[in-house]
Chain A
Amino acid sequence: MYGYTGLKLVVELTSQSIEKSPLDRDLLHRVIGGRMLNTWTMHEELGADTDPLSPENTSYIAVGPLTGTLLPASAYTTVSARSPLTGIIGDSAAGGHFGPELKAAGFDQVAIRGRSEAPCYLLITDEMVQIRDARHLWGRDIFETHRALIEELGDPAIQVAAIGPAGEKQVKYATIATNMAGRTFGRTGMGAVWGSKNLKAVVVRGRQPIRVADSVRFKALCQEISERIVTHVEFPKRRRVGTTMLVNGLNDLGILPTRHFQEGVCDYVDAISGETLRDRYVVKNKSCYNCSVHCSRYIVTPDGEGEGPEFEPLCSYTSRLDVSDLQWALKMIFFMNRQGIDAISSGETIAWAMECIEKGLLSPADFDGLELCFGNTDATERMLHLIVNREGVGDLFAEGTRSLAAEYGRGTERYALHTKGLDIINGDPRGLKAYGLGYAVASRGGCHLRADPFFEMTNRFEEARERFGTEKAATPFSYEGKPALVEYSERNCLLIDSLTICKNIGQSMEVIDPEFAAEILTAGTGLAFNESDMNASISELRTMERWLNLRFGLDPRDDRLPARFAEDPLPSGPAAGQVVQVADMVQEFYRIKGWSSEGIPLDRPGP
C-alpha cells in the first residue's frame, strides 16, 4: 500500500499477547485515519459499561495516510480512549516526531488493552514488537524515562511516548508526552489510562520507507502547500512566537482569561507575553517533523531548559491565576511536562479553589491550609506537588474540577469552568461567540480544537456572506451565522485530525480544505478519494462520534457553557459588557446537522 501501511498492532497486556492484523482497505478509504479511525474503532469495541481505568478500556494510537510523507506539518498522532476524566470520548493529539516513526515501523494504528501484571513498556520496531519490563522505570519522570530508555536500548534515535508519576497514580488529567517531555498528548487523561494498564511507555523505531503512489503529482501538491504556508500573512509571527502570540493577541481582543475569567484584559500582559518569552528565554526555534513553520521554541531558564511552552500552559499559569512571574510559570510548566499532568485542567482546579476562597465560599482550611489566593505562587506550587502525588487534598484535586465542585458543594459548582468535565481552554467565549458554541458542543468536552472557528475574527465580510449567509459570521460578538460556521469548521477539523495534519496549519492558516485533501490523498495513497465521498464520510463519522458519546452516557443538556459566560458580562476592555448565551445557537446547530432538538442524530451509523 502507499501512504498507509495497512497494518494494525493489537496488544493485550493481561495475556501479554501481540498480534498484527490487516486494516481493511475499504474501511481506510472511508475513515481515512487518525481521529476518525480511532473513533470508528472505539465505536466497534467499547461499551457503555467500559470503565475507563479498567483493563477493558483500550488506548488507540493512530497516524494518518500522509503522516511521515513529504507533506509538511503531517507529523501529528492521535491517542484515543474512553476518558477517565469525563467518561465520554477522550483523545489528544501531539506533534513532534513520534508519528512518522510509528509509520516507518509499519503501523497505521496500535490498540492496547488489558492490564499488565507488572509495569511494562511496549517496544515497536519494524522488525519486532515486544512487551518489556519497566519496573526500573516506574516512578521516573517522562524526561528521565526517555533518557533511560535511550541508554537501555543503545539508540538515541528512538521515539518515546511515556507517562510520568502522575499517570502512574492515575491522576484523571494525566498526560502522555514525547520528545523528552517537550510535546504532549495533554487532554482528557490519556496518561491515566496507560497508568491503569501499568503501561509506562511506548517506544518506536522504524526504518521502512514511506512510499506514495504518484510521487510527481504528490510533490507538486506539497509544493503548493509549502507556498500557502510560507506566504500566509501569519507565517512570520507564528515562526517568531508560535501559539504564544495569543497572549497579546487575545488580550488585544479583551478575552485573555485573567483571574479565572473574571477579567479579559491583563494589566501586566507585557510581563507574560510570547514576545517577552522570546526576548528573555528563547534561544532558538524548534519544530515538529517536516514542518515549514517551526513554531516551537527551546528555552533556557535558571530552573532548567527544554522545548516549550505553548500558549495554553503559559496562560494557565500566569493570567488565569493572576500571576505575573513568567520565570515561575516556566518552572511549573517544566514540572508539569515531566511529571505528566495537563496544565489546563490542573490550573482550573487551582483557579477554582482560588475563586471559592476569594468569594468566601471556602477557606484555606478546606485545602490542607494552603493559602490558595490569586497570585500566590508558593501555594500553587505546593498544590501541584500534592496533585501529582495524590497526597492530602491533592488526591481530590487529582479527580478534576467537576468532581471537586461536586464534593465540596456549597455553591462552588458555579465556579467550576468546564463543559462535560473537560476544563475550558484559555479563550474567553464571551468575546468569541462561535468559540462559545464550539466549546459547548465539542465531542470531547470544553475544547476549541473540535471546531476552531477562527473565521469569526477575520472581518472577511464578503466571504462570510457567501459561505455562511451573513457578514456577521466574520465578526466576534455577533451570534449570526455562527452555527453554520461552527458546523463547517467542525468538519474541517475532523478531516485535519484524520490526515493527520497540525491544526495550526491546516485550520488556522487555512492550508487544507476537503477539495485539496481529496487530491493529495489520492496522489499519496493511490486510492480514489473525492470531495463528495469524503464529506459523506465526515458526516457519518461525526454522527458515529455522537452515538458513541450517547452510549458513554453523554447528556445532550451538557451541550452548554458554565453560567459565568452567560450571566457575568466582561467588566472591561474591548469585549466589555459581552456575555454568550449558546442555547439558541445550539438548537440551530442541531438543525443544520439533522439532529433532533434534543441533540440526538436522526441517522443511526452504519456498521
Chain B
Amino acid sequence: MIRVHAELCSGCRQCEVACSFAHSSGSVARSLARIQVVKDEAMGLDYPVLCQQCTDRFCLAACPTGALSIGSLGEVLVDQAKCSGCGLCENACPIGAIRMHDDNPQVCNLCGGTPQCVQACTMQALCYEPDNTEHAMLRPADPGEGHTPDAKARQYAMRETDEHRSRWHTQGWR
C-alpha cells in the first residue's frame, strides 16, 4: 500500500499529473487521476488521497455485479466487462478514493507494482510499502446526501492533517 507522510506534501500535484499521464496514455486531467490532492490554501492544507486498501473493502461489499476484486498487491482491480456503471462503489468508499469517470470506476491499482505517483513525488510524501499488510480502519461512508467523493476526500484529509496543523498553532513560531 502507499503510505502518505502528510506534513511533507507541498500540494504540487505531481502525483496526480503522473498518475493521469500513465493511466491515459499521455493526457493530464485531474479527473483521470486515481490520487487526488486535497488543497485548502487558507489553512495550508495539502493532502493526497488515494485508496488505502481498507480492512472492510467497502467498495467490494457494495458492488452488485462482482466487478471488483483484490489483486496480489492488495490493490482493487476493476473488471470493466462485469461493471454495470451503477456507482455504488463510489458511494460506499468513505474517503472518495474510488470514483466513477464516464461510467467506469477509477481507483489506484498501484500501477502493477511500480506506482508512478511515488516515483514522481520529489518531496517523498508518498511511500510505497509493498510488504505492509496493515490496512486502514476506516469508518463507513455516511449515506446522507451531499457526500460527493470530493467532500469525503476533504473530510478525510482534514482528519489526517489535524495533528500537524494543530501543532503548528500550539507550538507556533520559535
A contact residues vs B (CB 8 Å cutoff):
68-70, 72, 97, 104, 143, 146-147, 156-157, 179-180, 182, 207-212, 215-216, 218-219, 226, 230, 279-281, 283-294, 296, 298, 300-302, 305-307, 327
Contacts and interface: CB of A to CB of B under 8 A. Distances in A.
A279 B13 contact: no
B10 interface: yes
Given A207-B31, A302-B173, 4 more contacts: A69-B28, A209-B28, A290-B17, A301-B173
A296 B21 CA distance: 25
B26 A207 contact: no
A215 B44 CA distance: 33
A283 B154 contact: no
A283 B171 CA distance: 11
Contacts of A327: 173
A234 to B, nearest CB: 14
B25 A286 contact: no
Contacts of A218: 26
A115 to B, nearest CB: 30
Nearest to A150: B42
Contacts of A301: 173
Contact of A284 (B7, B25, B30, B122): B7
The 10 closest A-B CB pairs, nearest first, are A215-B26, A287-B12, A180-B41, A209-B27, A287-B10, A209-B29, A298-B44, A294-B10, A285-B10, A292-B122
Interface of B: 7-14, 17-18, 20-21, 24-32, 39-44, 46, 122-123, 150, 154, 164, 168-169, 172-174
A70 B42 contact: no
B174 A215 contact: no
B8 A284 contact: yes
A89 to B, nearest CB: 31
Contacts of B11: 286-287
A300 B7 CA distance: 14
B28 A291 contact: no
B41 A104 contact: no
Contacts of B14: 72, 290-292
Given A289-B12, A294-B12, A296-B10, A283 B31 contact: no
A284 B21 contact: no
Q: Which of the listed residues B30, B39, B42, B173 has the most CB atoms from chain A within 10 Å of its own CB?
A: B173
A300 B169 contact: yes
A348 B32 CA distance: 47
A307 B13 contact: no
A301 B169 CA distance: 9
Given A156-B154, A215-B21, A284-B7, A207 B30 contact: yes
Contacts of A279: 174
Nearest to B18: A70
A27 to B, nearest CB: 24
B12 A209 contact: no
Nearest to B29: A209
10 contacts: A97-B13, A209-B24, A209-B32, A219-B21, A284-B44, A284-B46, A286-B44, A287-B123, A290-B14, A291-B12
B43 to A, nearest CB: 8
B157 to A, nearest CB: 11
Nearest to B123: A294
B128 to A, nearest CB: 18
Contacts of B13: 97, 289-290
Given A70-B18, A156-B40, A288 B29 contact: no
A388 B16 CA distance: 39
B12 A288 contact: yes
B10 A286 contact: yes
B168 A300 contact: yes
Contacts of B173: 280-281, 300-302, 327
Nearest to B12: A287
A210 B41 contact: no
B110 to A, nearest CB: 19
A219 B18 CA distance: 10
A524 to B, nearest CB: 10
A208 B44 contact: no
Nearest to A235: B122
Given A70-B17, A280-B173, A285 B123 contact: yes
Nearest to A300: B168
A382 B27 CA distance: 51
A540 to B, nearest CB: 31
A324 B48 CA distance: 38
Nearest to B36: A157
Contacts of B168: 283, 300, 305
A230 B167 CA distance: 30
Q: Which of the listed residues B7, B10, B24, B154 has the most CB atoms from chain A within 10 Å of its own CB?
A: B10
A242 B22 CA distance: 30
A215 B25 contact: yes
